[in-house]
Amino acid sequence: MTLRSRHLLGIEGLDRSEILTILGQARTFREVLDRAIPIVPALRGRTVVNLFFEASTRTSTSFNLAASRLSCQCVNFSKATSSVSKGETLLDTARNIEAMGVDGIIIRHPAAGAPHFLARNVKAFVVNAGDGAHEHPTQALLDAFTLREKLGDLEGKRILIVGDIAHSRVARSNLLCFTKLGAKVAVCGPPTMIPPYVEDYGCEVFYRLDRILGEVDVVNMLRVQQERITASSFPTVREYRALYGLTAARLRKLAPEVVITHPGPVNWGVEMDFDVADFSQTLILPQVTNGVAVRMAVLFLLAGGEHPEG
Amino acid sequence: MTRRLANAQAVQSLVARLATQISRHNPGVKDLALVGIKRRGVPLAERVAARLNAGRKSKVPVGAIDITLYRDDLQMVAETPIVRGTEISFDISGKTIVLVDDVVFTGRTIRAALSALLDFGRPRAIQLAVLVDRGHRELPIQPDFAGKKVVTRRDDLVDIFLKETDGRDEVVLTRVGQSQRPKAKSQKPK
């Protein structure tokens, strides 16, 4: 019933039943968040560290809160104020932090594979909170959780992921997660932002948003990641918005039951017009709330109990 | 060696006895609510509530509590237990809550349930009702209402079967011989 691995490195390593286990546990933690006192003593005495080598408010706060709500201590580390600026290596940083007695490391790193590297080299359990353009598993899990709360089983549901598919770890994790849950996934974006062989993941590819928008149950918008893209792959903000933005005009044409998700932070006026924020089917804030419950489930499943394999 | 402590009919009369004791102790069952401890405390709480409600206009609310996240042995168990969720749809503040469970043994489950319950609000009082009290407490916790008291050895197993969860109503005591005591099948603390 529990997870095979003692780390959460990506959706790739999870099978359908493991995903469903996490989502099932997340539901019970969602209920904890609504209590008069939304804290349970489940991980009393445990400590995790938020090891963030990239800027983040949502994800690091979410993990922090998830740990607190489980009575688990959470230490925050940020690159800017650490010895990393003195040239300390990732392994040294992690080993030093581990030597202070932490049970788990939650890592966000610009290099794909950094969490996997840590997992091989430290005794603590490792949670990938985003590694480069590779994976962001807890985002995919919280998106799946939010969609299931709204739509029920995702089997056969048509989900469209729109944006920079090539540079987005959210796109990859979501694509893997939704497909494993039986959804029919399509991706859409400028040709420069669609990675080659993306069809091998079992999705359809569209280059024109208006052709597919009318045929889906879910529109999963991605953030335009100014920090990861180059001038050659990205046209202009105006052109991007005109071709791939969820504009007020496109919103009006959507069927009323279509739901919209976005991992945040939103560049309003670029990938989405602000009108989307007030649309009743927009799940952006529920996504954030559910994110805490999903991360509680992940921490509880990884940190609760002893892992016999060490 | 196994011994049947109660058959279906006896289980029914134990439940009836609990209901009688509870209503005698709480005249008019005013501001009373039952909270069953998962899993077998829940159907028991519902049965007791049905008896308390008989012939009454207002119904006694019933909730369900899962104590997994409050266990004091979470760091010692080999595998992460599955959390089943708590459903208390009413405000417990100011109410008299009767916690209901099938067996009271070490008292650790009850301790966990008390902690869990207090995170939902501040009840006026909490009472404890169990179908079977088998002794061997490890904490200063005693039931207010017990259907049956049984003298057991520490390593005896007392199993309660209920129609709702197991298809039949029965209470069985299993005495495990000194030599053949199964190590793996440790009974969860009650």
Chain B residue closest in CA terms to A296: B69
Percent of chain B with pLDDT over 70: 92
Mean pLDDT of chain B: 90
Section B11-21 average pLDDT: 96
Q: Count up the domains in chain B and report the number.
A: 1
Note the pLDDT of residue A108.
95
DSSP state of A8: B
pLDDT, tens digit, 9 for 90 and up, residues B135-148: 999 999 999 999 99
Calculate how close chain A gets to B30, using CA atoms only, in Å: 23
Asked whether residue A146 falls in the same domain as residue A268, the answer is: yes
Per-residue burial over B146-184, b if 16 or more Cβ lie within 10 Å, else e, is: bbbebebeeebebbbbbeeeeeebbbebeeeeeeeeeee
Mutation test of the interface with chain B: which of A31, A33, A294, A298, choosing the one with the most B Cβ atoms within 10 A?
A31
User: Residue A223: inside a domain, yes or no?
Assistant: yes
Asked whether residue A144 falls in the same domain as residue A252, the answer is: yes
pLDDT, tens digit, 9 for 90 and up, residues B63-107: 999 999 998 888 777 677 888 888 899 999 999 999 999 999 999
Of residues A31, A39, A308, nearest to B78 (C-beta): A308
How far is CA A48 from each of CA A44, A45, A189, B35, B80, rounded to the nearest angstrom? Answer: 11, 10, 37, 34, 17
Answer yes or no: do A40 and B116 touch at CB < 8 A: yes
Note the pLDDT of residue A306.
55
User: Residue A270: inside a domain, yes or no?
Assistant: yes
User: Residue A8: inside a domain, yes or no?
Assistant: no
A271's tokens? 């990938």
DSSP state of A15: -
Note the pLDDT of residue B180.
53
Local structure of A240: helix, strand or coil: helix
Predicted-complex ipTM score: 0.74
Asked whether residue A41 falls in the same domain as residue A66, the answer is: yes
User: Residue B184: inside a domain, yes or no?
Assistant: no
Note the pLDDT of residue B183.
54
pLDDT, tens digit, 9 for 90 and up, residues B29-63: 889 999 999 999 999 999 999 999 998 888 999 99
Note the pLDDT of residue A308.
40
Query: Residue A220 maps to which CATH number?
Result: 3.40.50.1370
Q: Kind of pairing, strands B157-161 and B170-174?
A: antiparallel
Range of the domain at B104: 10-71+83-152
Note the pLDDT of residue A305.
60
Q: Count up the domains in chain A and report the number.
A: 2
Section B156-160 average pLDDT: 95
Rg (CA), chain A: 19
User: Residue B26: inside a domain, yes or no?
Assistant: yes
Mutation test of the interface with chain B: which of A18, A22, A25, choosing the one with the most B Cβ atoms within 10 A?
A25
* Residues on chain B touching A301 (C-beta within 8 angstroms): 80
Asked whether residue A189 falls in the same domain as residue A200, the answer is: yes
How far is CA A127 from each of CA A11, A77, A186, A200, A296, rounded to the nearest angstrom? Answer: 11, 15, 28, 26, 12
* Residues on chain A touching B74 (C-beta within 8 angstroms): 42-43, 304-305
Answer yes or no: do A40 and B66 touch at CB < 8 A: no
Rounded Cα gap, residues A306 and A14, in angstroms: 20
B24's tokens? 């005698």
User: Residue B190: inside a domain, yes or no?
Assistant: no
User: Residue B25: inside a domain, yes or no?
Assistant: yes
User: Residue A6: inside a domain, yes or no?
Assistant: no
Q: How many CB atoms lie within 10 A of CB B79?
A: 12
Phi, psi of A118 (to 5 degrees): -60, -45
Range of the domain at A45: 16-135+288-303
Asked whether residue A104 falls in the same domain as residue A162, the answer is: no
Answer yes or no: do A40 and B82 touch at CB < 8 A: no
Query: Residue B27 maps to which CATH number?
Result: 3.40.50.2020
Mutation test of the interface with chain A: which of B65, B83, B90, choosing the one with the most A Cβ atoms within 10 A?
B83
Top pLDDT among B129 and B78 is at: B129
Task: Say whether residue B9 is in contact with chain A using an 8 A CB cutoff.
Answer: no
User: Residue B182: inside a domain, yes or no?
Assistant: no
Note the pLDDT of residue B188.
54
SS3 content of chain B, % helix, strand, coil (to 5): 25, 25, 45
Q: How many CB atoms lie within 10 A of CB A261?
A: 24
User: Residue A11: inside a domain, yes or no?
Assistant: no
User: Residue B171: inside a domain, yes or no?
Assistant: no
* Residues on chain A touching B118 (C-beta within 8 angstroms): 37
User: Residue B144: inside a domain, yes or no?
Assistant: yes
Inter-axis angle of helices A16-33 and A137-151, nearest 10: 70
Chain A residue closest in CA terms to B77: A305
Percent of chain A with pLDDT over 70: 95
* CA geometry: angle A132, A136, A138, nearest 5 deg: 155
Structural contact between residues A149 and A291, judged by C-beta atoms closer than 8 angstroms: no
Rounded Cα gap, residues A163 and A160, in angstroms: 10
Over chain A (310 residues), the average pLDDT of each successive run of 10 is 88 96 94 90 93 90 96 86 74 87 94 95 95 97 98 97 94 97 96 92 95 96 82 81 94 93 93 91 95 97 62
Length of chain A: 310
Q: How buried is residue B61: exposed, middle or buried, by Cβ count under 10 Å (0-12/13-18/19+)?
A: middle
List strand residue ranges (DSSP E) for chain A, in order: 47-52, 73-78, 104-109, 125-131, 158-162, 184-188, 204-206, 218-221, 259-261
**Closest to B100 measured CA to CA, from B9, B5, B92, B109:** B109
